[in-house]
Structure 1
Amino acid sequence: MDQHTAATALGADRPEAETTLVEKAYGVLRKAIVRGELLPGDKLKIDVLQKQHAISSSPLREALNRLTAEGLVTSEGNRGFRVAPISLEDLADIVHLRIVLERQAVEASIAEGGDNWEASVVAAFYRLEREEKRIFEEQAALNEEWSQRHRDFHMAMMSGGRSKRLINMVANLFDQAERYRRLSAVYRKGPKNKSNEHKRLMDAVLSRDPVLAAERLREHVEKTAQNVVNAMKAKQAEAEPAE
């Protein structure tokens, strides 16, 4: 390989390497925020993040800007970035948009999804049900495995339509709601077996009844949100000084 060819190849590799670092930074930070490892209002200092993740400042800034566009991070101009705050108003907005967009996504899945889509829904439900049964029998807390299987099940139901943009929007809102669920989980009183609730969802979707499926999705989203609201109010009451 001559010098020109080598230089060209090296130059071509740089954008790909930079993109890889951005994706790495984005994935690590997004996961930490959704899981509640980075708490609402936490300062996201570039120099600290550089040391923690061994990623240079440029990819980190780009990743933080992407997370800002998604609503998981806020930008304070020259003062840097913070994890987005939480509030009852913000949760209500997320719930409203989820109901609107998930209705469209599940209707599209029912209209456009084929046998492979139906099989993916059944398989995702089976994996989720297995984990829920294990957790319920052991009286254990919901864990990382449950969270992933739960997300996989919901996204499987939405994945039959042709609009990738709609599916991505639904996934982003699901993760924003997941952040609230995880932050409120500490106030949950014991494990809950949700298997029947999820089976009702699956049955409605696989019956290809868009009205029933949309209604059960709405009930499911609102019920989960109400649990989060109750937990947030309990936390607020706990923090208030006694008279």
Structure 2
Amino acid sequence: MTQTTHTSPPAEKQILSEQVYTHLRDAIMRGDHAPGDALKPQDLAKEQGVSLAVVREALVRVVGEGLADRLPNRGFAVPAYSDRRWQEIAEARRTIEPVMLRMAVERGDVDWEARVRASHHRLTRTPAYVAEEGEHYSSAWAEAHRLFHRTLLEGCGNPVLLETFDRLWTASELARRWSAHRNPDRDGAAEHRRLEEAVLARDADTASEVLIRHLTQTAAGLTGCAHHEPGREA
């Protein structure tokens, strides 16, 4: 006799919650919701055909990632764009990540070195923009970029610090995608190459200095974005 397996209600809710969370996160990152836009649970539930409980669970998750704010007596909203907000995030990254990188250089093993090489190779081989009805930001490059920076820091071996990095990265990535201007003189590929070289040479001082300059350049490119419409990455 064939036994039929049924998805239990809790498991089904978990699947729905994950789907709604992924859809909402991607929509915010794509710019479907403008800075400051309200994220109304009722509208989102109707749009996705799910319960309010599922939507609220997804909203709480994106708030935890810094992709939405929970406002007292006003519900949920996409973060309002302010230079101060994003510069504070950049300051936090410049404070934490160089320390993590020093730890990684000191603690990372040969397997970590191999992952650093592989992640940098993937980044260099992934186009930053795709040509479809004009140039559009490449989500594949964004993921390769994130993986390279995270792999550099994974050698530190501290999961608490890595969780902090993940949250700050997601919030700053949203800011970059909202940026309406770019620095045409910046050579980001060269900055990434110098990072890889310094790390693999086990030169913690140079690696930290390169990373600080790299993060400072990114922060400078975001200044003034509050006065522009969301656009291409800075």
Same fold (TM over 0.5): yes
Q: Which residue of 1 aligns with 2:21?
A: 26
Over aligned residue pairs, what C-alpha RMSD do you find? 2.9
In structure 2, do the counterparts of structure 1 residues 81 and 133 end up closer, same or farther at CA, with 3 Å as the change threshold? Answer: closer
Question: Per-residue deviation at 1:83?
Answer: 0.7
**Do 2:105 and 2:202's aligned partners in 1 also have CA atoms closer than 8 Å?**
yes
> Whole-Å Cα distance in 2 between the matches of residues 134 and 90 of structure 1?
27
Q: Determine if the alignment matches structure 1 residue 48 to structure 2 residue 49.
A: no
> Whole-Å Cα distance in 2 between the matches of residues 85 and 157 of structure 1?
31
Question: Per-residue deviation at 1:29?
Answer: 1.8
Q: Secondary structure at the match of 2:69?
A: strand
Matches within 5 A, 1:1-243: 13-132=8-127, 142-184=137-179, 186-188=180-182, 193-232=187-226, 235=228
Equivalent position amino acid for 2:197 in 1: D
> Whole-Å Cα distance in 2 between the matches of residues 71 and 141 of structure 1?
24
Equivalent position amino acid for 1:97 in 2: A
**Do 1:125 and 1:202's aligned partners in 2 also have CA atoms closer than 8 Å?**
yes
Which structure has greater helix proportion? 1
Question: Per-residue deviation at 1:84?
Answer: 1.2
Equivalent position amino acid for 2:211 in 1: L
> Whole-Å Cα distance in 2 between the matches of residues 69 and 132 of structure 1?
30
Post-superposition Cα deviations, 1:160-196, rounded to whole Å, max 9, x if no partner, equal 2322221121011111111111111x32376965211
Post-superposition Cα deviations, 1:97-156, rounded to whole Å, max 9, x if no partner, equal 111221232223222221221111111111111225897xxx955422221211121111
In structure 2, do the counterparts of structure 1 residues 132 and 69 end up closer, same or farther at CA, with 3 Å as the change threshold? Answer: closer
Question: Per-residue deviation at 1:15?
Answer: 3.2
Q: What residue ranges of structure 2 are gaps of 5+ in the alignment?
A: 230-234
Q: What residue ranges of structure 1 are gaps of 5+ in the alignment?
A: 237-243
Q: Work out the number of aligned pairs and report it.
A: 224
Equivalent position amino acid for 2:198 in 1: A
> Whole-Å Cα distance in 1 between the matches of residues 65 and 188 of structure 2?
29
Q: Secondary structure at the match of 1:75?
A: strand
Aligned-pair identity in percent equals 33
Question: Structure 1 length normalisation: TM-score?
Answer: 0.80
Equivalent position amino acid for 1:46 in 2: P
Question: Structure 2 length normalisation: TM-score?
Answer: 0.82
> Whole-Å Cα distance in 1 between the matches of residues 108 and 178 of structure 2?
34
> Whole-Å Cα distance in 1 between the matches of residues 205 and 18 of structure 2?
38
**Do 1:129 and 1:195's aligned partners in 2 also have CA atoms closer than 8 Å?**
yes
